[in-house]
Amino acid sequence: MASTAVHPALVTGLAFALAFVFGAVAYRVSFCTMGAITDIVNFGDWRRMRMWLLAIAVAIAGTAALQSAGLIDTAKTIYTNSKVPWVSHLVGGFLFGFGMTLASGCGSKTLIRAGAGNLKSVIVLMFLAAAAYMTLKGAFAPWRVNGLDTIRWDLGTATSDLPALAMSTGIGAAARLWLPILVALGLAAFIFANRDFRTTPELVVGGLVIGAVIVGGWYVSGHLGYLPEDPQTLEEKFVATDSGRMESYSFVAPTAYLLELLLLWTDQSRLLTFGIAGVLGMLAGSAAVAVATRTFRWEGFASVEDVGNHVVGAILMGFGGVTALGCTIGQGLTGISTLAVGSILALGAIVAGSVMAVKYQMWRIERTEARAVAAPARATSGAVAGAPRT
């Protein structure tokens, strides 16, 4: 890992640049976890899901390569703590998944749409940021800290990731590299078994690039931004991170920290961080491509019900994303790249929550349509029953 001092501007600048690429590519290829799940549930279409899985495979393999080369240490992340707050992961993940479906997209997709002119997404971001901040430091925090987070699963290993569990069985330290590679290869075999996906270059490129961005984030934060000994505290330090640990991309808590920075702009203790720069980079990347391709459009809500769904979804995402330690990117790509047990639980809960929300929305549509069909029949029946006799 790095041993020389690094200026925070280098870390945040590179974080912005990588996120810019993420936002630009994701906009072009319609990268969206919620959309991928909806495609499967409604149409049986797995192509966007395979793109997401490809990004996961690249992130896992790249992270393992950096770890094996000694460039980063995944033990220094928030995902691999030895004690897993499994209830927080499950509850937070489920609420996030349900919320992102109500709000028409996860945190990253909301940023991408906001950058392209979607005013609904701007409103979602505001409520998401407020709910996330309340969960970090405000009214929701006691529920999380004193309730959900207290229930933890001690795996008895130094870190709570699959390689550590494998090594605890006596397999050997080599599992730190070969196990992630096997997982990545297994995913790749499933992904490229589908001809429709193989023959859609933009989806393949999208998965490769987005996975590589996650790996790049680890390198910037965990290698370039690492100080073994901070001159001021004489302790190790990761420069310009909100958690004080090595980070890659996540878009719930950083959105809350961006709101805090804007609200307390004159407070000199509030600084630009890796996460905040990532949020800004996503917005800028999607906006740049939307403008360049002439697809930038102002969009608003369709109805009062639409407003309500998005607001409720945003609040659930804010609370759930912080409670689960990440979103579909923070846990579904960044956390999963470490093969942390908690990330696997959170990702499964996010998918389950989203599927449940899709089913709920379908039920609501069917119910509305049934009422619409029944209404004229009742009106006609009433008119006949009340007709004057001759």
Query: Per-residue pLDDT tens for 78-110?
Result: 999 999 999 999 999 999 999 999 999 999 999
- DSSP symbols for 7-67: -HHHHHHHHHHHHHHHHHHHHHHT--HHHHHHHHHHH---HHHHHHHHHHHHHHHHHHHHH
Determine, yes or no, domain membership for 143: yes
Taking CA atoms, 358 is separated from 100, 352, 353, in Å, by: 10, 10, 9
Is the pLDDT at 71 greater than 60? The verdict is yes
Query: Which single residue is written with the structure tokens 């702009």?
Result: 265
Is the pLDDT at 388 greater than 80? The verdict is no
So what's the pLDDT on residue 381?
58
State residue 155 phi and psi, 5-degree precision: -80, -10
pLDDT tens digits, one per residue of 352-384: 999 999 999 999 888 888 887 776 666 565 554
Q: Which residue has the higher pLDDT, 172 or 379?
A: 172
Once rounded to an integer, what is the mean pLDDT over residues 45-70? 97
Once rounded to an integer, what is the mean pLDDT over residues 245-274? 95
Residue numbers of the domain that contains 323: 8-368
Determine, yes or no, domain membership for 246: yes
- 322 contacts 129 by C-beta, under 8 angstroms: no
Residue 320: CB atoms within 10 A of its CB come to: 30
pLDDT tens digits, one per residue of 96-155: 999 999 999 999 999 999 999 999 999 999 999 999 999 999 999 999 999 999 999 999
So what's the pLDDT on residue 17?
98
Is the pLDDT at 390 greater than 60? The verdict is no
Q: Pick left, alpha or beta for residue 70 (phi over 0 → left; psi -120 to 50 → alpha; otherwise beta).
A: left
Would you call 226 helix, strand, or coil by DSSP? strand
Residue 68: CB atoms within 10 A of its CB come to: 15
Determine, yes or no, domain membership for 283: yes
* Domains contained in the chain, number: 1
As to burial, measured by CB atoms within 10 angstroms (0-12 exposed, 13-18 middle, 19+ buried), residue 286 is buried
Q: Which residue has the higher pLDDT, 75 or 364?
A: 75
Determine, yes or no, domain membership for 2: no
- 36 contacts 52 by C-beta, under 8 angstroms: yes
- With cut-offs at 50, 70 and 90, classify the pLDDT of residue 170: confident
Closest CA to 62 of 166, 243, 254, 209: 209
- 334 contacts 248 by C-beta, under 8 angstroms: yes
- With cut-offs at 50, 70 and 90, classify the pLDDT of residue 171: confident
So what's the pLDDT on residue 229?
85
So what's the pLDDT on residue 366?
87
Would you call 243 helix, strand, or coil by DSSP? coil
Is the pLDDT at 234 greater than 90? The verdict is no
Determine, yes or no, domain membership for 386: no
Distance separating alpha carbons of residues 66 and 75, to the nearest angstrom: 13
Determine, yes or no, domain membership for 120: yes
So what's the pLDDT on residue 389?
43
- With cut-offs at 50, 70 and 90, classify the pLDDT of residue 387: very low
Question: One-letter amino acid identity for 384?
Answer: V
Determine, yes or no, domain membership for 23: yes
So what's the pLDDT on residue 225?
95
pLDDT tens digits, one per residue of 299-343: 999 999 999 999 999 999 999 999 999 999 999 999 999 999 999
So what's the pLDDT on residue 3?
47
Which pair of tokens denotes residue 378?
């009742």
Q: Which DSSP letter does residue 150 get? A: G
Helical (H) or strand (E) element with 227: strand 226-227
Is the pLDDT at 2 greater than 50? The verdict is no
Distance separating alpha carbons of residues 48 and 36, to the nearest angstrom: 5
pLDDT tens digits, one per residue of 260-310: 999 999 998 889 999 999 999 999 999 999 999 999 999 999 999 999 999
pLDDT cut 90: percent of the chain above it:
86
Taking CA atoms, 95 is separated from 99, 143, 148, 252, 346, in Å, by: 6, 14, 13, 13, 10
Determine, yes or no, domain membership for 388: no
Rounded to the nearest integer, the mean pLDDT of the chain is: 93
Distance separating alpha carbons of residues 119 and 132, to the nearest angstrom: 20
Once rounded to an integer, what is the mean pLDDT over residues 207-222? 98
So what's the pLDDT on residue 377?
60
So what's the pLDDT on residue 350?
98
